[in-house]
Amino acid sequence: MNINQHWLSDIIHTPSPNFDERPDPNDISLLVIHCISLPPNEFGNNYIDQLFCNQLNPDEHPYFKKISQLKVSAHILIKRDGTCVQYVPFDQRAWHAGQSVYQGRERCNNFSIGIELEGTEQMPYTDQQYSQLTEVIDALVKHYPTLSKQHITGHSDIAPGRKTDPGAAFDWQRLFDLLR
């Protein structure tokens, strides 16, 4: 994988309107791992794209009535089959972390890249997802000198009590073993 003008090459690009300028575009120093499924516990549809692009129809599922008005995004989504989708260029601030703190620094969206895994906190992630996640992280660390493999965290770690993803099903040891 290569990065050209802050977009990963050879993946799907689905630009989201939900982003803005980073306070310091040179401060990209954290990777945040999330998980998402829409509706909850369902996979393999286009609802995540629709949510991140403000096109989610609240009438398509009862759960969507609660979330269709949200303005959220991530930089990357890795689907169950390993397909990668990028929504926001890496030099821009995606709206993925919300109220958050990492090592004393607040507002993690300002300095992080958000990576969503299609999944739930309780269901194991797929081999394809771990493989693609490793490739994405390797490309990011290679391209952005302010990133490192030592500064990867879960949404639950930067927003404890508010968020639980990527959850107990995410195998951190497996990820770090693959990154070596």
Task: Show the domains of the chain with their CATH numbers.
Answer: 3-179 (3.40.80.10)
- Give pLDDT tens digits for 153-164: 999 999 999 999
C-alpha to C-alpha distances, 177 to 10, 51, 94, 140, 160, nearest whole angstrom: 25, 33, 28, 17, 25
What contacts 167, CB < 8 A, 6 or more positions away? 35, 120, 121, 122, 156
Q: Share the mean pLDDT of the chain.
A: 97
- Give pLDDT tens digits for 4-20: 999 999 999 999 999 99
Q: Please state the rounded mean pLDDT for residues 23-48.
A: 97
Rounded to two decimals, what is the model's pTM?
0.97
pLDDT score for 31: 98
The question of whether 106 is a catalytic residue gets the answer no
- For residue 180, name the pLDDT band (cuts at 50, 70, 90): confident
- Give pLDDT tens digits for 93-129: 999 999 999 999 999 999 999 999 999 999 999 999 9
Select which of 42, 106, 116, 135 is catalytic.
116
Structure tokens given for 55: 């096109």
